[in-house]
Amino acid sequence: MTDKEKCKDQMDFLAQVLESRPKPKGRFFVYGTKGVGKTTFVCQAKGHIVLPTEDGQDYIDGATCFPKANNIKEVDQMLDEIEKGKHDFKVLIIDSLSSLEHMMDEEAFLSAKDEKGNLYCDRYSGLDEIPYGKGSSGDLTIELWKGFLSKLNRIRLYKNMEIFLIGHARIKKMKLPGEVEYDSWVAQLKPKTQEIVGNWVDAVLYAKYDENINQKSEGFGVERNIASGDLDAKRVLCSSKRAAYDAKSRFDLPSQMPLDYNEFNKIIQREYEKK
């Protein structure tokens, strides 16, 4: 066999490996206001496992959960068990990223050392006090987030699992050049965390009630804005950025979908088939 033929055989073997590897599942960040049903939405998925960093999942019928993680070391241990253990879980849910961020800050503050090996926590009372841009928005927490997301990526690739990150929402004042100031819903995360997570996930999805704002005349030229909508039935998942909220998707998703995992799964399975 010539060297050229050997090289072709090796390429054929590599092609077989690549063809047999499952296509990576999606990475989603779902955020919204309290009580809209973010966690309930994802817990509708078959074969899910929740890694909780806050309370609340026990009240969801059918939710399969780890015990609540109280610090980053416990989060890492649970992720190691998912990554290295034998199981049939298909969907990993981190609930919530907002609480996880506090754990990241605490871990960075308690474990970080300066160039001489001295602990920062012996000299400062909080992460934000650490100088030279190494505090909560600097190098210390960024490295922790990168390690966390890297571990999630290994789970996604080698365990063939979908990843859902759950987050809370807050109102942020926004202003475009030459335009008036307005309110917009964004994730309840620090800007640097939001940037890292937003770049990593395939979609940032905003969960909300499907409400309409109508004006009602109260006489004497006075009008009042009134929100209307069926709060029990009409909850939607938004995938396209609007002035009122932040969202994005690398998949071809509808701009709004029902907040129902079965419906979402039908859409996303079609997207997986396109890859």
- Tell me if residue 83 falls in helix, strand or coil: helix
Q: Pick the range with the lowest mean pLDDT from 124-133, 145-154, 166-175, 263-272.
A: 124-133
pLDDT at 219: 53
pLDDT at 28 over 70: yes
pLDDT of residue 16: 52
What is the rounded distance in angstroms from the CA atom of residue 66 to the CA atom of residue 88?
A: 15
Domain span at residue 178 reads 25-274
Q: Smallest Cα–Cα separation from 79: which of 139, 161, 23? A: 161
Q: Tokens representing 72?
A: 């980053």
Question: Looking at residue 210, what is its pLDDT?
Answer: 84
Strands 203-209 and 248-249: antiparallel
> Is the pLDDT at 117 greater than 90, yes or no?
no
Task: Calculate mean pLDDT across residues 161-186.
Answer: 90
Q: pTM of the predicted model, to two decimals? A: 0.82
| Sequence-ordered list of residues with C-beta below 8 angstroms from that of 249, at least 6 positions apart, any chain | 202, 203, 204, 205, 239, 240
Q: Are 139 and 133 in contact (CB under 8 A)?
A: yes
Identify whether 2 is part of a domain. no
Mean pLDDT to the nearest integer, 92-106: 94
Find out whether 107 and 142 touch, Cβ atoms under 8 Å: no
* Residue 136 pLDDT level (bands cut at 50, 70, 90): very low
- Domain CATH for 53: 3.40.50
| % the chain with pLDDT above 70 | 75
- Type of residue numbered 106: E
Per the domain annotation, does 19 fall within a domain? no
Q: Is residue 154 part of a domain?
A: yes
Cα–Cα distance measured from residue 107 to residue 114, given in angstroms and rounded to the nearest whole number: 15
Whether 175 maps to a domain, the answer reads yes
Instruction: Give residue-wise pLDDT tens across range 197-219.
Output: 999 999 999 999 986 554 445 55
Highest mean pLDDT among 65-79, 98-112, 163-177: 65-79
- Higher per-residue pLDDT: 56 or 75: 75
pLDDT greater than 70 at residue 137:
no
Q: What is the mean pLDDT of the chain?
A: 83
Residue 18 resides in a domain: no
8 A C-beta contact, residue 49 and residue 82: yes
Higher-confidence residue of 45 and 7: namely 45
Number of domains in the chain: 1
The arithmetic mean of pLDDT across residues 85-99, rounded, is 96
d(CA 271, CA 275) in angstroms, rounded, equals 7
Q: Is residue 217 part of a domain?
A: yes
Quick check: 61 pLDDT over 70? yes
